[in-house]
Structure 1
Amino acid sequence: MTSRPEGTLAQRKRQLVADELTQAALNLLAREGFDAVTVDEIAAAAGVSKRTFFRYFASKEDAVVQFLAGMGAGMRDELADRPAQESPSAALRHTVWCSIDACAGHADRALRVVQLILWTPALLARFLERQAQWRDVLAAEVARRLGMDPKVELYPQLAAGMALTAFHTVLQRWSDSDGVEDPAELTDRAFAVITPALDTVVRSRAPGDLPSPA
């Protein structure tokens, strides 16, 4: 996953260099291990100087986390595009599955990257920080879809948190199994567990109560 180039020519060039550095970091770190690779080696693999690397990223962790940069916005956009009357569980399952498929959809290389992130404490900490940010973004979209005030209702944050817990759990099981377990089946199993809680809000409302998103 890379960020979509946009903006001015200078911004697009900057994004291209950042993406190349991220790809170089992911390739090296997934193959050699996080502690075995230096910034100099990442810069050399990307064809730039160490000084150039530090213009874009403060650390190896930052270069890898760039891989995750657009995922939260992507989840929000997927959720916003779901049909207005779709149940929360179905809308969130689709949202989560799109991100899981983006992570797990490229076989061996993607598996090594996911394992690198989940099995390296420094990277896992950054990944969890990102998920906390995504929870707020998803909660705001859940609240918008259901006509709730996220500052009053508990449901949006809880629903977003459950969906992201499912996302993380599926990736963890898939990576721990070394790619043997099917991420689509794992996603179905995860949502089978949380669907009753996610759809409580629908069952508690009268038919037709769910508003059309503004």
Structure 2
Amino acid sequence: MGLRERTRQAVKVDIAATAMRLFLEQGFDATTMEQIAAEAEVSRRSLFRYFESKEDIALGDIAERGVRVQEVLAGRPDSEGPWEALRAALDVLATEMEFTPEWAARITAMFHETPSLRARQVEKQLRWTGQLVPEVERRLGVPPGSAGDPRAAAIVTSALACLNAAVDAWTTGGGKRSVFELYDEAVAAIRA
């Protein structure tokens, strides 16, 4: 990555951190793009070159995290079944995210209290399905490009629904239990 791209990434990270601080202090809906630009010391126009909307700032790199989960899933041993490989791949979310539990709880609560954020989060997570299904199909022995076999899509969408249910339970439970412990319980309920 060249100097220009590193500088662009650093500015983007700074803007996102500033915005998250404002969202948590004032509330998501009460924070304006103008306030974010002023606090981050960039013009409104520059802000929109980095982010299309407040939702995009708050959701950060959800799409990129999906790509990372896909990479880890593809690298899992072929001996693992789809559920086991997905579980191991989703672990990357916990190990590579740099949040304190308290901060993560506050952000997750903000997402749950803001309908526009939840809707945008679901939209971005839907992309994950398209990214993960081909690897699960491969693990199931489904020939590439075959139509009419719903198993891989059912497994991926169920796994992501379990992840969302675990995050919901984690948030309402005050973050007392591990998200992945709750995820494992959700998966066990589905697979029972």
Q: Is the 8 A contact 1:104 1:183 kept in 2?
A: no
Q: Is the 8 A contact 2:63 2:127 kept in 1?
A: no
Tell me which of the two structures has the higher relative contact order, counting C-alpha pairs closer than 8 angstroms and 6 or more residues apart.
Answer: 1
**Structure 2-normalised TM-score?**
0.88
Match of 1:48 among 42, 48, 54: 42
Question: What is the alpha-carbon distance in structure 1 between the residues aligned to residue 141 and residue 100 of structure 2?
Answer: 37
Q: Is the 8 A contact 1:96 1:164 kept in 2?
A: no
- Which has a greater percent of helix? 2
Structure 1 portions without partners, runs of 5+:
1-6, 197-214
Counterpart residue number, 2:109: 115
Question: What is the alpha-carbon distance in structure 2 between the residues aligned to residue 29 and residue 59 of structure 1?
Answer: 13
Deviation at 1:139, TM superposition (A): 0.5
Question: What is the alpha-carbon distance in structure 2 between the residues aligned to residue 69 and residue 145 of structure 1?
Answer: 23
Counterpart residue number, 1:99: 93
Secondary structure of 1:70's aligned partner: helix
Counterpart residue number, 1:138: 132
Deviation at 1:105, TM superposition (A): 5.6
Aligned residue pair count: 190
Residue 61 (structure 1) aligned with residue 55 (structure 2): yes
Deviation at 1:101, TM superposition (A): 5.5
Root-mean-square deviation (Å): 2.1
Deviation at 1:122, TM superposition (A): 0.6
Match of 1:179 among 169, 175, 180: 175
**Which runs of 4 or more aligned residues in structure 1 lie more than 6 Å from their structure 2 counterparts after TM superposition?**
none
Question: What is the alpha-carbon distance in structure 2 between the residues aligned to residue 156 and residue 90 of structure 1?
Answer: 13
Structure 2 portions without partners, runs of 5+:
none
Within 5 Å, give how 1:152-171 maps onto structure 2: 152=147, 153-171=149-167
Counterpart residue number, 1:191: 187
Deviation at 1:96, TM superposition (A): 2.5
Question: What is the alpha-carbon distance in structure 2 between the residues aligned to residue 56 and residue 28 of structure 1?
Answer: 17
**Structure 1-normalised TM-score?**
0.79
Task: Report the residue type matching 2:155 in the other structure.
Answer: A
Deviation at 1:194, TM superposition (A): 3.0
Question: What is the alpha-carbon distance in structure 1 between the residues aligned to residue 98 and residue 52 of structure 2?
Answer: 27
Question: What is the alpha-carbon distance in structure 2 between the residues aligned to residue 151 and residue 167 of structure 1?
Answer: 27
